[in-house]
Structure 1
Amino acid sequence: MSMRIQMSTAAENAVMLSLIDEQGNSPLSIACNEQLHALADWLLDQHHDCIVEVVPSYASILIYYDAMNMDEATFIARIQPPSDWQKQHRQTTTNSESEHQIQVCYDTVVAPDLERVAQHAGLTVAEVITQHQQPTYHVYALGFAPGFAYLGDVPAAIRCPRLETPRQKVPALSVAIANQQTSVYPMESPGGWNLIGQVVELPQLKAGDKVRFIAIDLDTFKRRRQEVSHG
């Protein structure tokens, strides 16, 4: 897919860089997201002297710069990637993505929305569990809360909209889905996604990583949780 770069003002010390397709849209796709994170790495590598921070999302990068020593026009002109930036990036970096296997208990004791998701999908609970484990998920972005990773893509058969009324408290390490995304809540927090399980522990994820979910039964989950809590 042919993509072009668009930059716009985001704040007095930040610009937004977006990847735009031929129709002027920012597509939500793994290929686009991987290109975006590669571009973020390239920018930091080439312009670390004037970039304070980069915050990648699905199809855009928020770039903070040293506004005390450089105006926006000068900064944008300076960081404009050349046409061969991808070739340069491949020559100077290695693939740093990691694949993680995360154990999940899908028992309804720890999955209060699982039966409702199954009803919404017209499937059995067992079929929803099987569907959720099928993909190797891509970490699109980190956000909402520290360690909260947006993973995609959830199989179309089990996609379910967010709750109309978010919960005030979602238990830490809950696995949830919302439309084409899934994630694990790293800590107790409010949340409006559908809770379909809990994990034993959550590895540190970064954008671009891959995740596989592996089902375990409730007894194994309780035993593993106890082992983790006791070190």
Structure 2
Amino acid sequence: MVVDEEDHEESLPFAALYIREADMVTTTEDDGSFAFRGLCPGVKYHLEVHFVGHVEFHEDLVLTRDTVLEIRMRADDVVLDEIEVVGTRVQEHTLEQATRLEATELRQTRNQALGKMLEGINGVRSLQSGPSVFKPVIHGLHSNRILIYQNDIRLEGQQWGTEHAPEIDPFQAERVAVLKGAPAVRYGAEAIGGVVVIDPPALPEEEGWAGEVNLNGSTNGRM
């Protein structure tokens, strides 16, 4: 017996054949040939042939002597359904383990530099250089010992001299969080002192107009 492909006249190796009544299974050789031995003459057998990517072949046989059977299998076009992959963004920093300033608290200090704004958090102070340069100090560590992230972007301006403060506009912050200890280490070795995470306002989900007016005042050179 030989199995070949109907469209291309090529042998099909490793096709699976099964005779149900005799409970016999075999596979084709490299040249498509196969053989069943020990079948009883005059008995009706049902032959099944299976091959990947082809329509199953079924035929009833009644054998009276050794028989050569040529089987032609037809290719089966399989169309897969589309696969839709849906993902959601996972918050990269866990603010539940951090001390944070919400929008209401930030509105009261938006006329101040970032380092000055954070002085209300336990363990956070500021290093002042001049009237408006404030660098955050977390448990005595500052500059290249702490990290600052704004909108998931790492800022490094505060790592230089004492006259360099973080280049951050307080009006762009919706929430500011300070991570200290173990939660901060995941951001890198420079976060040994802590991490300041600044989140901007969330993007609107619906079309429309929105705005905000802020008025701040301060004295010039007077305590």
The question of a shared fold, defined as TM-score above 0.5 by the shorter chain, is answered with no
More helix by share: 1
TM-score by length of 1: 0.19
User: Which structure carries more relative contact order (alpha carbon 8 Å, separation 6+)?
Assistant: 1
